[in-house]
Amino acid sequence: MPGSGGAPSLGLSLRLDGGDLAFDSHTGTLLEVQELDALAQALVLAIETQLGTDRVNSTFGFDRLSVGSYALGLSARKQYITMQLVACIGRDRRVRDVREVFFGDDPRFFEQEPGLDPTAQAQIVREVRASRAYTVYVVIETITSQTLTVSSGGTLG
């Protein structure tokens, strides 16, 4: 996607707020997102759209429903989700590479939160695993050589 002067661009899109188009309340004009924000919004939308539900592009989305279809342990479900996320996000031509995928109860998550003591970390892990509601973080490199982290949540089957 060439931008001005042929440089790569991450795009421009209409801003979404809870799945609805966002408007400027004073002018009534549609709000926009661009570059990293546009890509982040598009990737979260892809992750949160069930694969095959877009009638125009049946390869758009993430297959959330199949996560709970198999009697797999937590580690295997996380690996399956990681593979599906890499495939889903890798379809966007603005993504050069998926660098990392980690979950809210993984040691990598706690590296991002250095202020949490081991007791607090253990409590978070217990709560996340008891609820089965996980947040996943995906770190990507864009075609503009920028790093972007997107997150999305859901249950692991």
Q: For the CA atoms of 151, 59, 17, 22, what is the dihedral angle to 10 degrees?
A: 140
Q: Give the residue-averaged pLDDT of 27-42.
A: 94
Q: What is the mean pLDDT of the chain?
A: 87
Which of the four pLDDT bands, split at 50, 70 and 90, describes residue 67? confident
**Are the beta carbons of 124 and 116 closer than 8 angstroms?**
yes
| Type of residue found at 73 | G
φ and ψ at 109, to 5 degrees?
-60, -45
In degrees, rounded to 5, the angle at the alpha carbon of residue 61 between the alpha carbons of residues 53 and 7 is 130
- CB atoms inside a 10 Å sphere around CB 119: 8
Residue 71: the pLDDT is: 59
- Calpha distance 128→116 (Å, rounded): 16
For residues 32 and 5, the model is more confident at 32
pLDDT at 4: 54
Query: Which domains can be identified in the chain, with CATH numbers?
Result: 4-16+31-155 (3.10.450.40)
Instruction: Supply angle C-alpha 122, 131, 89, rounded to 5.
Output: 95
How high is the pLDDT of residue 70?
A: 66
Q: Residue 1 — very low, low, confident or very high, per pLDDT cuts 50/70/90?
A: very low
Find the Cα–Cα–Cα–Cα dihedral 68, 153, 101, 151, rounded to 10°: 160
- What token pair was written down for 117? 């003591």
Predicted confidence band at 68 (pLDDT cuts at 50, 70, 90)? low
- Which residues lie across from 97 on neighbouring strands? 141
Q: What does the pLDDT average to over 121-140?
A: 88
Q: What's this model's pTM, rounded to 2 decimal places?
A: 0.81
